Amino acid sequence: MADEHIQILEFEKPLAELKKKIEELKVYAREKNLNVDAEVKPLEERAGKMRDEIYKNLNSWQIVQIMRHVKRPKTLDYVALMIDDFQELHGDRSFADDKAMVGGIGKIDGISVMIIGLQKGKDTKENLMRNFGMSQPEGYRKALRLMKYAEKFNMPVLTFIDTSGAYPGIEGEERGVAEAIARNLMEMSRLKVPIIVSVIGEGGSGGALGVGVGDRVLMLKYATYSVISFEGCATILWKDATKAAEAARILKPTAKDLFELKVIDEIIDEPLEGAHKDYEYTANNLKTAIVKYLKVLVKIPLNRLLEERYKKFRNMGIYERVEQQAQTAKEEADNA
């Protein structure tokens, strides 16, 4: 990747400017044969400090911006870096091949696996082909076909989540996108092979969850996962999509938030400035975690595996229990 094409995020600009100044100073010094070490050293120290301060205190909205970085690695980038002998498999055998949902067989650390993932593009051309990572019903049905395939051949399933949601269109409603997602939720909850879910970028509501039920759910440090888009939430709350940053804070969509809410099992580390800075480093971390969990999961007897998967999702939810007696007394008082 050519560095000059890398998008600089708003909050990174002061740092980028300082770095540029240092570079200019160095170039100038080289040209004029001057020694500027004394001048450069404090500037570099300042840049280092600035970098640490920015990235150690990222707020939700800054994380969303990193997650949306144009060069952020996508499902097939991880497949290329993690999976041996990958063979892509196409189609739902019923209607079409949805290019926003990719799938195929391969090996990870010697273990045969089925890979299923939502696929965004990195430029306009790719995004048009991938429908911006927004799947149609046939995408979810292709995913289900591949899961059943994996079950037949006893291959664990690895899913990768990166979508703003299922595509909202006429055809999706006609072909039952809701049914397709619902079916996957139920079938994934009882699929007779281990499933490891990785949220690598955008986890957008039901369209993400449609391949998101598994024995372990991993999430990259700068990925997000939310029931509603931040812009959509801001529009509902304040009739103002530009307040998305505030919505992102409230919805608690970051990996750290979801880990605290016990919705995910592990946060996978990324380079300080985001996965786009080092694909190999990120893929390697993700692979290490997946292989670690796979080795545990393949040894668990099927009945226990399914029971634990059921309990994992069954136990999700935050509610309170009011004391029944007090409640009955209150009802009686109300009725009196």
Partner 1 sequence: MAAWFHRPKYTIVRKTTERSETKIPEGMWVKCEKCDSILLKKELDDNLSVCPKCGLHSRITAKKRIEILTDEGSFVPMFEDVRSVDFLGFPQYKEKLESSIKKTNMTDSVLAGTAKINSMDIALAVTDFFFMGGSLGSAMGERITALIELAIRENLPVIIISASGGGARMHEGIMSLMQMAKISAGLGKLADKGLPFVSVMTDPTGGGVTASFAMLGDLNIAEPEAFIMFAGPRVIEGTIKQKLPAGFQRAEFLQEHGMIDYIVVRKDMKNAIHQSLSTMLNKEKYAGRA
Please state whether beta strands 195-204 and 157-163 pair in parallel, antiparallel, or not at all (unpaired).
parallel
Question: Nearer to partner 1 by C-beta: 251 or 294?
Answer: 251
Q: Which residues contact 281 (CB under 8 A, 6 or more apart)?
A: 270, 271
Question: Nearer to partner 1 by C-beta: 35 or 324?
Answer: 324
- Choose one: 142-150, 152-160, 273-281, 322-330; the region binding partner 1 (CB under 8 A): 322-330
Residue from 156, 172, 194, 274 in contact with partner 1 (CB under 8 A)? 172
Question: Nearer to partner 1 by C-beta: 91 or 206?
Answer: 206
Please, what's the b/e burial string for 270-285 (b: 16 or more CB within 10 A of its CB; e: otherwise)? bbebbbbbbbeebbeb
Does the footprint of partner 1 cover residue 104 (CB under 8 A)? no
- Choose one: 9-17, 103-111, 221-229, 287-295; the region binding partner 1 (CB under 8 A): 221-229
Backbone dihedral region of 154: left (phi > 0), alpha (psi from -120 to 50 degrees) or beta?
left
C-alpha span between 100 and 55 (Å, rounded):
31
Query: Among residues 157, 209, 204, which one has the least CA distance to residue 183?
Result: 209
Strand partners, 161: 199
Rounded to the nearest whole angstrom, what is the least distance from the CB of residue 318 to partner 1 in the complex? Answer: 5
Does the footprint of partner 1 cover residue 230 (CB under 8 A)? no
What count of Cα atoms within 13 Å lies in the side-chain half-sphere of residue 254?
19
Question: Nearer to partner 1 by C-beta: 14 or 169?
Answer: 169
Question: Nearer to partner 1 by C-beta: 252 or 277?
Answer: 252
Contacts with partner 1 by CB under 8 A lie at 166-170, 172-179, 181-183, 185-187, 189-190, 205-206, 209-210, 212-213, 225-228, 233, 236-237, 250-253, 257-258, 261, 263, 309-310, 313-314, 316-324, 327
